[in-house]
Copies of this chain bind each other. A is one copy, B any other.
Amino acid sequence: MRIEIVDVGPRDGLQNEAEILAPETRAELCDRLAAAGLPRVEAASFVNPKRVPQMAGAEEVMRGLHRREGTVYAGLVLNEKGYERAVEAGVDEVRYAFPVTETFAKKNQNTTVADATALAERLVERARLDGVRVSITLSAAFGDPFEGAVEPGHVLGIAGRVAEAQPDEIVLADTIGVGVPLQVRELVRGAAAHGVTVGCHFHDTRNTGIANAVAAVESGATVLDASVGGTGGCPFAPQATGNVATEDLVYLLHGMGYETGVDLKALVEVARWLSGKLGKELPGQVYKAGVFEPVAG
């Protein structure tokens, strides 16, 4: 079975790093990821650069890409203006994310859950007219940095509304890395029951990211976000450390018999290269420990 991995390293990975990489370096990161076989890359974030200086120059990143045939280059947007910038800049896919809780929606995007859901529906419609793919992420779906536990029924209610608009996929995001496999199974099955492609986005803050990924793919998710080297976080969510490292996820998935299209050894080289660019060791483990063929036969 095939799982599509979206490397969000150039966006979610880098947006919380102290070291700011120039747009041309971020474009080069995308090129390297595409060359390693990543089918989709979240190349840039069309947010206000005053709020997230690491993501300034989204248009330059897009212009700097050496686009690879078959690779999907996505851009994150948090509002309609961002959507317009992203489409103008030539993304293949718009990824619109909004929190499922009121406090986080207010703090992160100065909106309400109802307004954000309505915007999701509108952006799906606009994307269809504009001929770009559209992915909708439900942030803080497994727990909220301010409100604590989040009811699965609440998340699935929002997922149902979004699913009716028929986006290319719905991504359930554990923004602060608190989820456990039991939750993952309930949310993924519930979302998939709406007849939509389901993705998951895990942060490895409490070491549950890989276990959650296993639960996700075994419950029907076919898309997983990850970040090369395990960089990343969320600048507005306290303690939200890195995304699941893409190479750790690929190691796991290949060992479990899933296909990803990714060349793991090439990806490990990208992690090493990024580690050099950021001037520090990254949280990913496989790039440090080395690749191994775990299953006999």
Contact B252 A296 (CB under 8 A): no
3 closest A-B pairs by CB: A180-B255, A207-B248, A211-B211
Contact partner, A294, options B183, B213, B251, Cβ 8 Å: B183
Contact B183 A295 (CB under 8 A): yes
Q: Closest B-chain residue to A177, C-beta based?
A: B289
Q: Closest B-chain residue to A218, C-beta based?
A: B181
Assuming the contacts A204-B285, A211-B214, A214-B211, asked whether A178 and B292 have C-beta atoms less than 8 A apart, the reply is yes
Contact partner, A292, options B148, B256, B292, B296, Cβ 8 Å: B148
A142 at interface by CB-CB < 8 Å: yes
Interface residues of chain A, those whose CB is within 8 Å of chain B, are: 142-143, 148-152, 176-183, 204-211, 213-215, 239, 241, 245, 248, 251-252, 255-257, 284-286, 289-290, 292-297
5 interchain pairs, CB-CB under 8 A: A142-B294, A178-B294, A180-B294, A206-B248, A241-B285
Contacts of A248 in B (CB 8 A): 206-208
Contact partner, A210, options B152, B205, B207, Cβ 8 Å: B207
Query: In the complex, how many angstroms separate the beta carbon of A248 from the nearest chain B beta carbon?
Result: 4
Query: In the complex, how many angstroms separate the beta carbon of A176 from the nearest chain B beta carbon?
Result: 8
Contact B239 A289 (CB under 8 A): yes
In the bound assembly, the distance between CA atoms of A295 and B187 in angstroms comes to 12
In the bound assembly, the distance between CA atoms of A183 and B251 in angstroms comes to 14
Query: In the complex, how many angstroms separate the beta carbon of A1 from the nearest chain B beta carbon?
Result: 13
Contact A151 B289 (CB under 8 A): no
- Among A177, A182, A297, chain B packs the most CB atoms within 10 A around the CB of A182
Contact B149 A295 (CB under 8 A): yes
Contact B143 A292 (CB under 8 A): yes
Query: In the complex, how many angstroms separate the beta carbon of A230 from the nearest chain B beta carbon?
Result: 8
Query: In the complex, how many angstroms separate the beta carbon of A194 from the nearest chain B beta carbon?
Result: 20
Contact A206 B297 (CB under 8 A): no
Contacts of A239 in B (CB 8 A): 289-290
Query: In the complex, how many angstroms separate the beta carbon of A135 from the nearest chain B beta carbon?
Result: 25
Query: In the complex, how many angstroms separate the beta carbon of A297 from the nearest chain B beta carbon?
Result: 7
